[in-house]
Each structure stands twice: as structure tokens, then as C-alpha cells.
A and B are shown apart, each in its own frame.
Chain A
Amino acid sequence: MGESIQVEVVYAKAERQELVRLKLPQGSTIQQAVEASGLLARCPEIELAKAKVGIFGKLARLDTALRDKDRVEIYRPLIADPKEVRKQRAAEGKVMKKGGGPAEE
């Protein structure tokens, strides 16, 4: 113990993205990282108890222990309902691409 890990905490809004680099003691959790980042004070709209968090694109729980060079991400909910978007696009006659491949004719 006594070693520290380097992590980033990021909270991204469309027009402004907050990215904080932190040095934390080994074994710190996501919750500790978010609290240490000061983002809760800068962005009062974050409700840590409700917000979904994760590490590098994977959802994780607040008590997950961090590893060196992790990026803690605080997520925001979707605005669009995925089902509705799909329906709308189908109604407009646009082809939905599946699995990221090019749309089939």
C-alpha cells in the first residue's frame, strides 16, 4: 500500500466536457474518485446516488475499486427513447443499419 493510482473523472455535456485528472490512494472506489474530483460542486445537476457511472464505457457500481489509469465516467440519461427513434426512422422509410455495418439496400 501507500502507492497511488492515477485516474481521470469525466462528466460530459454536449457543449462542455469536464475532465479531471486525479491521484488517489490504491484501492479507491468510483465514489471516492467522483467526490475527490470536485465535479459535484462544479456541476450541481449531478446526483451521485441516482446517476449511472462506469469505467471506460462499461457501467459499474459506485463501490467498484479503481485501477491505475482508469477513466471514471459519469453518465447522463438518454433523451430519445430508442424504440421511438427506430419506429420514427422506419416510418420515414430510412433503413436501419444493424451492427454498425453499412445499410443494406
Chain B
Amino acid sequence: MISAILVMALGAVVLGAALGYASIKFKVEGDPLVEKIDAILPQTQCGQCGYPGCKPYAEAIAKGEADINCCPPGGDEGIRKLADLLGREFKPLSGEHGVEKPKSVAFVDEQFCIGCTLCIQACPVDAIVGAAKQMHTIVAAQCTGCELCVEPCPVDCIAMVPIAESVETWKWRYPVFEIKPAGTAR
């Protein structure tokens, strides 16, 4: 009798210790779903979805507050990936948040820049180098193409220049397989 209780107690202690160790060792920081959604979003931080950045939008999607078709820079491809991840139906980009455009970076026309710093304050990713009454220049490698600097410029000297497709910028397209009705395929 005593030995049976001891065996059960020992078993409980061992299993408890194992579970306790596992919960510390394999602790998950934050919400892994938010991370996965955030990884799909284009990180333009443009705010076109109505949230202040890609991460807040990812959190809203994970909570079910936001729909998956509110990200114009991500485009149809981004929506397809999100639909895949979340097991939802694909739906086209909602028009109220904007339209998908080719990926661009901002470019300052140096003939007109007056060094007002308004574009620098607008840039969500600190991609603009410049200070008061100094030339403002956009670091193309860091520009996400969010267009937030275009509107504030008082002399309209910022233009969006589409990036030409090159070996560095080319990406795999999301594969789309057309399913043909059985009758038409020959």
C-alpha cells in the first residue's frame, strides 16, 4: 500500500518537473500568429490599412478585428498568402484603402529642395538623410515606397520612381493555377 502511494507520488513529481521544465525551455514570446502575419506584410509602414504600421495591422488581423484585404502594397499576392496562412477565402483588395502600385522609391528633386525637414518627420523608417536647410536625400535601400513623404513637401519636389525589375529585386510570384472545368479541357 505504502509503496503504491510512493510510486504514484514519485511519478507525479517526475512528470510535474518535466512539464515545468518544458514550459520554461519552450516558452513562446508573444503571439506566434502575429509574427507570421507580420512576416507576410510588406513592412512599408504606410498606414494605408488604417493602422499605424504593419505590426498593428498584423495584431488586428490576428484578433479578427481587421480583414485581410486592406493592404494595397501587399497586393493580391499578399492577400493570397494571408488567406493561406489563416485558412480563409481569398478576396480582392478592398478599394477604400487604395490600389496596388508597382514598387517604387521616393526621389528628391535637388533643384527644388528647400531643406524644410517635413519629409524627414513624415518618413516612418528614417530613410531620409538631411537636416534644416541642408539637402534632403532618400536612402533608396531603406525607402519602403510608402509615399508618406510626398504629401508634406511644400515645394512638391518628391516623386515616386518605380523600381525596375532586376536580379536583386525579382521575387517568386505566388503560383496561381487556373482550374479548368472538366468539359473544356481537351
Contacts and interface: CB of A to CB of B under 8 A. Distances in A.
A78 B137 contact: no
Contact of B107 (A14, A52, A71, A78): A14
A21 interface: no
Interface string A35-64: 000000000000000001010111100000
B129 A10 contact: yes
Contacts of A100: 118, 121-122, 151-152, 154
A80 B120 CA distance: 18
Given A56-B126, A73-B129, A102-B151, A78 B113 contact: yes
Contacts of A89: 155
A85 B112 contact: yes
Contacts of B137: 12-14, 17, 76
Given A10-B129, A19-B139, A100-B152, A79 B134 contact: no
Contacts of A65: none
B141 A19 contact: yes
B132 interface: yes
B68 to A, nearest CB: 31
B140 A82 contact: no
Chain B interface helix/strand/loop/mixed: loop
Interface string B106-126: 011011111111101110001
Interface residues of A, number: 30
A71 B112 contact: no
A2 to B, nearest CB: 29
Interface in A89-103: 89, 96-100, 102
Contacts of A99: 118
Interface of B: 107-108, 110-118, 120-122, 126, 128-135, 137-141, 151-152, 154-155
17 contacts: A12-B129, A12-B139, A14-B137, A17-B137, A17-B139, A17-B140, A57-B128, A57-B130, A59-B132, A73-B131, A77-B135, A79-B113, A79-B135, A82-B115, A97-B154, A99-B118, A102-B151
Interface of A: 10, 12-14, 17, 19, 52, 54, 56-59, 71, 73, 75-80, 82, 85-86, 89, 96-100, 102
